[in-house]
Amino acid sequence: MKIMSIVGARPQFVKLAPIARAAAQANVDHMIVHTGQHYDPLLSDVFFSDLGIPAPDVHLNIGSGSHAQQTGMMLQALEPVIQDAHPDWVLVYGDTNSTLAGALAAVKIHQNVAHLEAGLRSFNRAMPEEINRVLTDHASDLLLAPTRVAMRHLADEGLAERSVEVGDVMTDVLFAVQHRVQEGRTPNPIADEFGFTPQQYALATIHRAENTDDPVRLRSIVDALARVPLPVVVLAHPRLRAKAHDAGIDLNVGSIRLHDALPYPQLIAAAMQSAHIVTDSGGLQKEAFLLRIPTTTVRPQTEWVETVELGWNRLVEPEGLVESVTRQAPPAVSDTPYGTGDAARRVVSVLIDRA
Ligand code: UD1
Protein backbone atom coordinates (compact mmCIF):
# COMPACT_ATOMS: atom_id res chain seq x y z
CA MET A 1 0.00 0.00 0.00
CA LYS A 2 1.56 3.25 -1.14
CA ILE A 3 0.25 6.80 -0.66
CA MET A 4 1.79 9.75 -2.49
CA SER A 5 1.15 13.12 -0.79
CA ILE A 6 1.50 16.12 -3.08
CA VAL A 7 2.05 19.40 -1.22
CA GLY A 8 3.57 22.78 -1.96
CA ALA A 9 2.28 25.62 0.21
CA ARG A 10 2.43 26.44 3.91
CA PRO A 11 -1.01 25.22 5.06
CA GLN A 12 -0.43 21.91 3.29
CA PHE A 13 2.67 21.19 5.34
CA VAL A 14 0.61 21.58 8.53
CA LYS A 15 -1.96 19.08 7.19
CA LEU A 16 0.79 16.74 6.01
CA ALA A 17 2.32 16.40 9.50
CA PRO A 18 -0.42 14.24 11.10
CA ILE A 19 -0.92 12.25 7.86
CA ALA A 20 2.81 11.39 7.74
CA ARG A 21 2.63 10.27 11.36
CA ALA A 22 -0.54 8.22 10.88
CA ALA A 23 0.89 6.60 7.73
CA ALA A 24 4.05 5.60 9.61
CA GLN A 25 1.97 4.16 12.46
CA ALA A 26 -0.07 2.11 9.98
CA ASN A 27 3.12 0.88 8.23
CA VAL A 28 2.04 2.44 4.97
CA ASP A 29 4.60 3.39 2.34
CA HIS A 30 4.21 7.19 2.23
CA MET A 31 5.95 9.25 -0.41
CA ILE A 32 6.07 13.06 -0.20
CA VAL A 33 6.26 15.24 -3.31
CA HIS A 34 6.89 19.00 -2.75
CA THR A 35 6.00 21.13 -5.76
CA GLY A 36 8.10 24.07 -4.53
CA GLN A 37 5.17 26.54 -4.67
CA HIS A 38 6.47 27.92 -1.37
CA TYR A 39 10.25 28.09 -1.16
CA ASP A 40 11.09 30.69 1.53
CA PRO A 41 12.45 28.75 4.52
CA LEU A 42 9.88 30.49 6.76
CA LEU A 43 7.03 29.26 4.57
CA SER A 44 8.41 25.79 3.96
CA ASP A 45 11.50 24.25 5.63
CA VAL A 46 10.62 25.28 9.19
CA PHE A 47 7.33 23.41 8.94
CA PHE A 48 9.09 20.17 8.03
CA SER A 49 11.62 20.50 10.85
CA ASP A 50 9.25 21.80 13.57
CA LEU A 51 6.42 19.39 12.84
CA GLY A 52 8.68 16.35 12.42
CA ILE A 53 7.75 15.73 8.78
CA PRO A 54 10.16 13.52 6.81
CA ALA A 55 12.03 15.40 4.04
CA PRO A 56 10.24 15.29 0.67
CA ASP A 57 11.16 12.31 -1.51
CA VAL A 58 10.85 14.53 -4.58
CA HIS A 59 11.19 18.33 -4.77
CA LEU A 60 10.03 19.94 -8.02
CA ASN A 61 11.28 23.48 -7.28
CA ILE A 62 8.52 25.13 -9.34
CA GLY A 63 8.42 28.44 -7.44
CA SER A 64 6.17 31.46 -8.08
CA GLY A 65 4.47 32.57 -11.30
CA SER A 66 1.06 33.44 -12.74
CA HIS A 67 -1.66 30.89 -12.03
CA ALA A 68 -1.34 29.36 -15.48
CA GLN A 69 2.46 29.30 -15.42
CA GLN A 70 2.68 27.85 -11.93
CA THR A 71 -0.06 25.25 -12.42
CA GLY A 72 1.16 24.33 -15.90
CA MET A 73 4.74 23.78 -14.78
CA MET A 74 3.53 21.63 -11.91
CA LEU A 75 1.35 19.49 -14.19
CA GLN A 76 4.25 18.84 -16.50
CA ALA A 77 6.66 18.00 -13.69
CA LEU A 78 4.20 15.85 -11.70
CA GLU A 79 3.10 13.49 -14.48
CA PRO A 80 6.33 11.44 -14.75
CA VAL A 81 6.77 11.40 -10.96
CA ILE A 82 3.30 9.90 -10.45
CA GLN A 83 3.75 7.53 -13.37
CA ASP A 84 7.06 6.20 -12.02
CA ALA A 85 5.87 5.77 -8.44
CA HIS A 86 2.47 4.32 -9.38
CA PRO A 87 0.96 4.74 -5.86
CA ASP A 88 -2.34 3.22 -4.70
CA TRP A 89 -3.50 6.73 -3.82
CA VAL A 90 -2.40 10.21 -4.77
CA LEU A 91 -3.44 12.44 -1.86
CA VAL A 92 -3.90 16.17 -2.48
CA TYR A 93 -4.54 18.74 0.23
CA GLY A 94 -6.72 21.85 0.47
CA ASP A 95 -7.14 24.38 -2.31
CA THR A 96 -3.88 25.73 -3.67
CA ASN A 97 -2.50 25.56 -7.19
CA SER A 98 -0.44 22.54 -6.04
CA THR A 99 -3.70 20.77 -5.10
CA LEU A 100 -5.29 21.28 -8.50
CA ALA A 101 -2.13 20.35 -10.38
CA GLY A 102 -1.70 17.15 -8.34
CA ALA A 103 -5.30 16.04 -8.84
CA LEU A 104 -5.36 16.81 -12.55
CA ALA A 105 -1.98 15.24 -13.32
CA ALA A 106 -2.98 12.05 -11.49
CA VAL A 107 -6.54 11.60 -12.73
CA LYS A 108 -5.49 12.06 -16.36
CA ILE A 109 -3.21 9.06 -16.11
CA HIS A 110 -5.91 7.01 -14.32
CA GLN A 111 -4.36 7.10 -10.87
CA ASN A 112 -6.68 7.10 -7.85
CA VAL A 113 -6.88 10.57 -6.31
CA ALA A 114 -8.13 11.43 -2.83
CA HIS A 115 -8.84 15.05 -1.86
CA LEU A 116 -8.25 15.96 1.76
CA GLU A 117 -10.35 18.91 2.98
CA ALA A 118 -12.95 18.28 0.31
CA GLY A 119 -16.29 20.07 0.14
CA LEU A 120 -15.31 23.47 1.53
CA ARG A 121 -16.98 26.29 -0.36
CA SER A 122 -16.92 30.08 -0.13
CA PHE A 123 -19.17 30.37 -3.21
CA ASN A 124 -16.92 33.23 -4.30
CA ARG A 125 -15.62 32.38 -7.74
CA ALA A 126 -13.25 35.36 -7.72
CA MET A 127 -11.04 33.43 -5.27
CA PRO A 128 -8.44 31.24 -7.00
CA GLU A 129 -8.84 28.78 -4.11
CA GLU A 130 -12.57 28.34 -4.82
CA ILE A 131 -11.84 27.36 -8.41
CA ASN A 132 -9.09 25.00 -7.25
CA ARG A 133 -11.28 23.23 -4.70
CA VAL A 134 -14.34 22.82 -6.93
CA LEU A 135 -12.27 21.40 -9.80
CA THR A 136 -10.27 19.16 -7.46
CA ASP A 137 -13.41 17.74 -5.84
CA HIS A 138 -14.95 16.92 -9.18
CA ALA A 139 -11.73 15.34 -10.49
CA SER A 140 -11.06 13.17 -7.43
CA ASP A 141 -12.14 9.59 -6.76
CA LEU A 142 -12.43 9.96 -3.00
CA LEU A 143 -13.50 13.08 -1.12
CA LEU A 144 -12.32 13.32 2.48
CA ALA A 145 -14.50 15.99 4.06
CA PRO A 146 -13.65 17.74 7.33
CA THR A 147 -17.19 18.70 8.44
CA ARG A 148 -20.88 17.95 8.07
CA VAL A 149 -21.33 21.19 6.14
CA ALA A 150 -18.64 20.12 3.66
CA MET A 151 -20.43 16.77 3.21
CA ARG A 152 -23.63 18.67 2.41
CA HIS A 153 -21.90 20.78 -0.23
CA LEU A 154 -20.53 17.64 -1.88
CA ALA A 155 -23.98 16.01 -1.87
CA ASP A 156 -25.48 19.16 -3.40
CA GLU A 157 -23.00 18.79 -6.26
CA GLY A 158 -23.86 15.12 -6.83
CA LEU A 159 -20.68 13.82 -5.15
CA ALA A 160 -22.17 12.10 -2.07
CA GLU A 161 -21.17 8.59 -3.14
CA ARG A 162 -17.49 9.51 -3.28
CA SER A 163 -17.52 11.40 0.05
CA VAL A 164 -16.50 10.40 3.59
CA GLU A 165 -16.49 12.64 6.65
CA VAL A 166 -13.18 12.20 8.47
CA GLY A 167 -12.84 15.36 10.59
CA ASP A 168 -10.24 18.07 10.25
CA VAL A 169 -6.55 17.11 10.26
CA MET A 170 -5.51 20.66 11.27
CA THR A 171 -7.30 20.02 14.55
CA ASP A 172 -5.01 17.02 15.15
CA VAL A 173 -1.92 19.22 14.80
CA LEU A 174 -3.35 22.12 16.76
CA PHE A 175 -4.16 19.98 19.80
CA ALA A 176 -0.69 18.40 19.78
CA VAL A 177 1.07 21.77 19.50
CA GLN A 178 -1.21 23.43 22.07
CA HIS A 179 -0.17 20.70 24.49
CA ARG A 180 3.52 21.43 23.78
CA VAL A 181 2.98 25.14 24.46
CA GLN A 182 1.08 24.45 27.67
CA GLU A 183 3.96 22.30 28.87
CA GLY A 184 6.28 25.30 28.36
CA ARG A 185 8.18 23.67 25.50
CA THR A 186 7.46 26.48 23.00
CA PRO A 187 7.82 30.05 24.30
CA ASN A 188 5.81 32.90 22.79
CA PRO A 189 8.31 34.84 20.64
CA ILE A 190 6.00 37.87 20.41
CA ALA A 191 5.86 38.30 24.19
CA ASP A 192 9.64 37.87 24.36
CA GLU A 193 10.49 40.28 21.54
CA PHE A 194 7.99 43.08 22.24
CA GLY A 195 7.75 42.68 26.02
CA PHE A 196 3.97 42.07 25.93
CA THR A 197 2.07 40.36 28.70
CA PRO A 198 -0.75 37.94 27.81
CA GLN A 199 -3.88 39.60 26.32
CA GLN A 200 -2.00 42.85 25.72
CA TYR A 201 -1.87 42.56 21.94
CA ALA A 202 -3.80 41.41 18.89
CA LEU A 203 -2.28 39.18 16.23
CA ALA A 204 -2.94 39.72 12.51
CA THR A 205 -2.20 37.95 9.23
CA ILE A 206 -3.31 39.28 5.85
CA HIS A 207 -2.13 37.53 2.70
CA ARG A 208 -5.04 36.69 0.38
CA ALA A 209 -4.86 38.02 -3.14
CA GLU A 210 -8.32 39.64 -2.75
CA ASN A 211 -6.92 41.75 0.12
CA THR A 212 -3.32 42.37 -0.96
CA ASP A 213 -3.52 42.88 -4.71
CA ASP A 214 -5.93 45.84 -4.80
CA PRO A 215 -3.97 48.85 -3.42
CA VAL A 216 -7.13 50.70 -2.34
CA ARG A 217 -8.40 47.73 -0.34
CA LEU A 218 -4.96 46.98 1.11
CA ARG A 219 -4.60 50.61 2.23
CA SER A 220 -7.98 50.57 3.95
CA ILE A 221 -7.08 47.34 5.81
CA VAL A 222 -3.72 48.76 6.94
CA ASP A 223 -5.41 52.03 8.03
CA ALA A 224 -7.95 50.07 10.08
CA LEU A 225 -5.28 47.90 11.74
CA ALA A 226 -3.33 51.07 12.59
CA ARG A 227 -6.40 52.45 14.44
CA VAL A 228 -7.03 49.42 16.69
CA PRO A 229 -6.69 50.60 20.32
CA LEU A 230 -4.10 47.96 21.25
CA PRO A 231 -0.86 46.86 19.59
CA VAL A 232 -1.48 44.68 16.52
CA VAL A 233 1.38 42.35 15.62
CA VAL A 234 1.18 41.78 11.87
CA LEU A 235 2.89 38.54 10.85
CA ALA A 236 3.82 39.43 7.29
CA HIS A 237 3.57 36.88 4.47
CA PRO A 238 6.08 37.82 1.70
CA ARG A 239 3.13 38.62 -0.56
CA LEU A 240 1.89 41.31 1.88
CA ARG A 241 5.31 42.96 2.07
CA ALA A 242 5.75 42.85 -1.72
CA LYS A 243 2.29 44.27 -2.53
CA ALA A 244 2.51 47.00 0.14
CA HIS A 245 5.92 48.00 -1.16
CA ASP A 246 4.67 48.14 -4.78
CA ALA A 247 1.69 50.30 -3.74
CA GLY A 248 3.82 52.63 -1.58
CA ILE A 249 1.95 51.59 1.60
CA ASP A 250 3.87 51.86 4.88
CA LEU A 251 3.11 48.86 7.07
CA ASN A 252 4.84 50.31 10.14
CA VAL A 253 2.10 52.73 11.21
CA GLY A 254 -0.09 53.40 14.26
CA SER A 255 -0.80 50.30 16.34
CA ILE A 256 0.91 47.97 13.88
CA ARG A 257 4.07 46.12 14.95
CA LEU A 258 5.50 44.35 11.93
CA HIS A 259 7.02 40.88 12.31
CA ASP A 260 8.07 38.08 9.95
CA ALA A 261 5.77 35.08 9.51
CA LEU A 262 6.20 32.61 12.38
CA PRO A 263 6.91 28.88 12.35
CA TYR A 264 3.79 26.89 13.32
CA PRO A 265 4.48 26.13 17.02
CA GLN A 266 5.51 29.75 17.66
CA LEU A 267 2.42 31.00 15.83
CA ILE A 268 0.21 28.92 18.11
CA ALA A 269 2.13 30.09 21.21
CA ALA A 270 1.64 33.72 20.09
CA ALA A 271 -2.04 33.14 19.26
CA MET A 272 -2.75 31.52 22.64
CA GLN A 273 -1.70 34.68 24.50
CA SER A 274 -3.31 37.19 22.13
CA ALA A 275 -6.46 39.14 23.00
CA HIS A 276 -7.81 38.92 19.46
CA ILE A 277 -6.93 37.59 16.02
CA VAL A 278 -7.45 39.45 12.75
CA THR A 279 -6.92 37.34 9.66
CA ASP A 280 -7.92 36.31 6.17
CA SER A 281 -6.39 32.85 6.55
CA GLY A 282 -8.72 29.85 6.61
CA GLY A 283 -6.45 27.87 8.90
CA LEU A 284 -5.95 30.61 11.45
CA GLN A 285 -9.71 31.30 11.73
CA LYS A 286 -10.19 27.70 12.74
CA GLU A 287 -7.17 27.56 15.03
CA ALA A 288 -8.40 30.71 16.80
CA PHE A 289 -11.81 29.08 17.27
CA LEU A 290 -10.26 25.89 18.67
CA LEU A 291 -8.20 28.02 21.08
CA ARG A 292 -11.29 30.17 21.78
CA ILE A 293 -9.65 33.47 20.80
CA PRO A 294 -12.20 35.99 19.42
CA THR A 295 -11.52 36.55 15.73
CA THR A 296 -12.18 39.09 13.02
CA THR A 297 -11.94 37.83 9.44
CA VAL A 298 -11.39 40.40 6.72
CA ARG A 299 -13.35 38.60 4.02
CA PRO A 300 -16.94 38.63 2.78
CA GLN A 301 -17.32 34.83 3.24
CA THR A 302 -15.69 31.98 5.07
CA GLU A 303 -15.49 28.27 4.33
CA TRP A 304 -15.40 27.62 8.09
CA VAL A 305 -18.94 28.82 8.75
CA GLU A 306 -19.12 27.07 12.15
CA THR A 307 -16.66 29.60 13.62
CA VAL A 308 -19.12 32.39 12.76
CA GLU A 309 -22.29 30.52 13.70
CA LEU A 310 -20.88 29.70 17.14
CA GLY A 311 -20.07 33.38 17.73
CA TRP A 312 -16.26 33.36 17.82
CA ASN A 313 -15.55 34.74 14.36
CA ARG A 314 -16.97 37.81 12.63
CA LEU A 315 -16.67 38.62 8.91
CA VAL A 316 -16.02 42.30 8.26
CA GLU A 317 -15.11 44.83 5.61
CA PRO A 318 -12.19 47.11 6.57
CA GLU A 319 -14.64 49.79 7.83
CA GLY A 320 -15.98 47.40 10.50
CA LEU A 321 -12.60 46.09 11.65
CA VAL A 322 -11.92 48.29 14.69
CA GLU A 323 -15.40 47.79 16.14
CA SER A 324 -15.16 44.03 15.69
CA VAL A 325 -11.74 43.80 17.36
CA THR A 326 -12.97 45.72 20.41
CA ARG A 327 -16.15 43.68 20.89
CA GLN A 328 -16.86 41.56 24.00
CA ALA A 329 -15.72 37.93 23.95
CA PRO A 330 -18.64 35.61 23.00
CA PRO A 331 -20.22 33.07 25.40
CA ALA A 332 -18.32 29.81 25.88
CA VAL A 333 -19.26 26.87 23.63
CA SER A 334 -18.36 23.19 23.83
CA ASP A 335 -19.19 22.20 20.22
CA THR A 336 -16.60 20.21 18.25
CA PRO A 337 -17.50 20.80 14.59
CA TYR A 338 -13.93 19.99 13.51
CA GLY A 339 -13.62 16.64 15.24
CA THR A 340 -11.61 15.59 18.24
CA GLY A 341 -8.08 15.33 16.86
CA ASP A 342 -8.06 11.86 15.26
CA ALA A 343 -8.80 12.80 11.64
CA ALA A 344 -5.44 11.70 10.18
CA ARG A 345 -5.80 8.17 11.56
CA ARG A 346 -9.26 7.99 9.97
CA VAL A 347 -7.93 9.28 6.64
CA VAL A 348 -5.24 6.60 6.48
CA SER A 349 -7.67 3.89 7.48
CA VAL A 350 -10.17 4.93 4.75
CA LEU A 351 -7.34 4.94 2.19
CA ILE A 352 -6.24 1.45 3.25
CA ASP A 353 -9.82 0.11 3.12
CA ARG A 354 -10.40 1.47 -0.37
CA ALA A 355 -7.00 0.83 -1.98
C1 UD1 B 1 -1.00 30.28 -1.58
C2 UD1 B 1 -2.40 29.70 -1.82
C3 UD1 B 1 -3.34 30.16 -0.71
C4 UD1 B 1 -2.77 29.86 0.67
C5 UD1 B 1 -1.38 30.46 0.76
C6 UD1 B 1 -0.76 30.17 2.10
C7 UD1 B 1 -2.92 29.45 -4.22
C8 UD1 B 1 -3.76 29.97 -5.33
N9 UD1 B 1 -2.98 30.17 -3.07
O10 UD1 B 1 -1.10 31.69 -1.70
O11 UD1 B 1 -4.56 29.48 -0.84
O12 UD1 B 1 -3.61 30.42 1.65
O13 UD1 B 1 -0.58 29.90 -0.28
O14 UD1 B 1 0.38 30.96 2.30
O15 UD1 B 1 -2.27 28.44 -4.37
N16 UD1 B 1 6.24 34.24 -2.30
C17 UD1 B 1 7.46 34.36 -1.70
N18 UD1 B 1 8.05 33.23 -1.18
C19 UD1 B 1 7.47 32.01 -1.26
C20 UD1 B 1 6.24 31.90 -1.91
C21 UD1 B 1 5.62 33.01 -2.41
O22 UD1 B 1 8.02 35.43 -1.59
O23 UD1 B 1 8.05 31.04 -0.75
C24 UD1 B 1 5.57 35.44 -2.83
C25 UD1 B 1 5.85 35.67 -4.31
O26 UD1 B 1 5.88 37.05 -4.52
C27 UD1 B 1 4.61 35.07 -4.95
C28 UD1 B 1 3.54 35.44 -3.95
O29 UD1 B 1 4.18 35.33 -2.67
O30 UD1 B 1 4.35 35.57 -6.23
C31 UD1 B 1 2.33 34.55 -4.02
O32 UD1 B 1 2.71 33.19 -3.83
P33 UD1 B 1 1.78 32.01 -4.35
O34 UD1 B 1 2.39 30.71 -4.11
O35 UD1 B 1 1.35 32.31 -5.75
O36 UD1 B 1 0.45 32.14 -3.50
P37 UD1 B 1 0.22 32.56 -1.97
O38 UD1 B 1 -0.21 33.98 -1.94
O39 UD1 B 1 1.32 32.16 -1.05
pLDDT in tens, 60-79: 999 999 999 999 999 999 99
Beta bridge partners of 34: 7, 59
pLDDT in tens, 316-337: 999 999 999 999 999 999 999 9
What is the CA(156)–ligand 1 centre distance, in A? 30
Stretch 238-260: mean pLDDT:
97
Q: What is the pLDDT of residue 121?
A: 98
What is the CA(303)–ligand 1 centre distance, in A? 19
pLDDT in tens, 25-56: 999 999 999 999 999 999 999 999 999 999 99
What percentage of the chain carries pLDDT values higher than 70?
A: 100
Specify whether 30 is catalytic.
no
pLDDT in tens, 170-180: 999 999 999 99
What is the pLDDT confidence band of residue 23, given thresholds at 50, 70 and 90? very high
Q: What is the pLDDT of residue 40?
A: 96
Stretch 138-152: mean pLDDT:
98
Stretch 267-274: mean pLDDT:
98
Q: Strand 232-236 and strand 295-297: pairing? A: unpaired
Q: Is 54 in the pocket of ligand 1 (CB under 6 A)?
A: no
What is the CA(38)–ligand 1 centre distance, in A? 6
pLDDT in tens, 88-111: 999 999 999 999 999 999 999 999
Q: What is the pLDDT of residue 184?
A: 94
User: Residue 203: helix, strand or coil by DSSP?
Assistant: strand
pLDDT in tens, 115-136: 999 999 999 999 999 999 999 9
Q: What is the pLDDT of residue 57?
A: 98
Q: What is the pLDDT of residue 25?
A: 98
Q: Which of the listed residues 48, 59, 239 should we mutate to test ligand 1's pocket, taking the one with most ligand atoms within 8 A of CB?
A: 239
pLDDT in tens, 12-21: 999 999 999 9
Q: Is 260 in the pocket of ligand 1 (CB under 6 A)?
A: no
Residue whose CA is at the smallest distance from ligand 1 atom 4: 96
Whose CA is closest to 98, among 3, 209, 8, 38?
8
Q: Return the ligand 1 atom nearest residue 238 CA.
A: 22
Distance of CA 9 to the CA centre of its chain: 9
What is the pLDDT confidence band of residue 277, given thresholds at 50, 70 and 90? very high
Catalytic residue among 30, 34, 153, 207: 207
Q: What is the pLDDT of residue 138?
A: 98
What is the pLDDT confidence band of residue 216, given thresholds at 50, 70 and 90? very high
**CA torsion, ordered 143, 158, 105, 344, to nearest 10 deg:** 0
Q: What is the pLDDT of residue 354?
A: 96
Q: What is the pLDDT of residue 227?
A: 98
Alpha-carbon gap, residue 164 to 158, rounded angstroms = 14
Query: Hey, which bits of 181-321 come out as E strands?
Result: 202-205, 232-236, 256-260, 276-279, 295-297, 313-315
Q: What is the pLDDT of residue 187?
A: 95
Q: Return the ligand 1 atom nearest residue 98 CA.
A: 15
Q: What is the pLDDT of residue 293?
A: 98
Q: Is 117 in the pocket of ligand 1 (CB under 6 A)?
A: no
What is the pLDDT confidence band of residue 229, given thresholds at 50, 70 and 90? very high
